[in-house]
Amino acid sequence: MQSYTEENYLKTIYHLAEQTTNVQTNAIAEQMQTKPASVTDMIKKLADKGLVDYIKYQGVTLTEIGRNTAIDIVRKHRLWEVFLVDKLNFKWDEVHDVAEELEHIKSVELIERLDEFLGFPKADPHGDPIPDKNGRFAKTQFIKLIELKVGDSGTITGVSQHSSAFLKHLEKLGLTLGKQIQVSDVTDFDGSVEILLSNKQINISREVAKHILISSNGKN
């Protein structure tokens, strides 16, 4: 059994490991809003418990047990987010913080029944995949909107930034999950992207385009 804090460390390491293989102490510290010295302490503890492999100065990797634990927390987080949006009518930008708390409730039965109650959803309100009870989930192939060429089209299926400010902005622009878009132009000056969205031309900044994930319809 892990503490609330240990669970958060495992989850953070799991997310960081999606980008880099060896997760660095400083990266964990930044993500967890704590100090590198505290991270070192916790890493040692997690290593003692067999949840991470750790070589001094070389960063950490999750063991299989550690990764399974992390995936279970991610599963809970995402299921609760679905619950909040689908059943309690929260907006997609309002659910993250509450899910950060709910994900630590320890009851296998609760999560299985919640999953069933929600109809075994495959993705959360931000398009992130929900692992099943065995920790399996499809590795989704997203491409960043910024990487599309003029003429390419696709469907918005995810976001790589979950801040309320960003999500609210997308909502205002009408850029919500499931929407079809086509890139009509890329501005030389500032790299901003012009897209066609339900017959309207809209312009989005490079920064925004970086965090919108598209499942491509293939080239035009």
Partner DNA sequence: AAAAATTTTTAGATTTACCTAAAAATAAAA
Partner DNA sequence: TTTTATTTTTAGGTAAATCTAAAAATTTTT
Residue 189, judged by CB atoms within 10 A of its CB (0-12, 13-18, 19+), counts as exposed
Report residue 186: phi and psi, to 5°: -125, 120
Contacted entry of DNA, a copy of itself, Mn ion, none for residue 124, CB cut-off 5 to 8 Å set by kind: Mn ion
Name the strands in the sheet holding 180-186, side by side, starting at the edge strand that comes first in the sequence: 143-144, 212-216, 153-159, 180-186, 193-197, 200-204
Say which entry of DNA, a copy of itself, Mn ion, none residue 24 contacts (CB below 5 to 8 A, set by partner kind). Answer: DNA
Q: Which is nearer to DNA, 44 or 113 (CB)?
A: 44
Q: Does 38 bind DNA (CB under 7 A)?
A: yes
DSSP 8-state assignment for residue 129: B
Find the binding residues for a copy of itself in span 32-91 (CB under 8 A).
84, 87-90
Residue 40 interacting partner from DNA, a copy of itself, Mn ion, none (CB closer than 5 to 8 Å by kind): DNA
| Residue pair 171/163 in contact by the 8 Å Cβ criterion | no
**Stretch of residues binding DNA (CB under 7 A), selected from 28-36, 72-80, 86-94, 134-142:** 28-36
The residue (of 57 and 189) whose beta carbon lies closer to DNA is 57
- For residue 41, the partner it binds in Mn ion, a copy of itself, DNA, none, with Cβ less than 5 to 8 A by kind, is DNA
What's the DSSP call for residue 187?
-
The size of the interface with a copy of itself (CB under 8 A), counted in residues, is: 18
- CA 161, CA 183: separation in Å to the nearest integer? 21
Could you please report the per-residue DSSP string of 130-167?
PP-TTS-------EEGGGPPTT-EEEEEEES---HHHH
| Residue closer to Mn ion (CB basis): 74 or 193 | 74
Residues that bind DNA (CB under 7 A): 3-6, 24-27, 33-45, 54, 56-57, 59
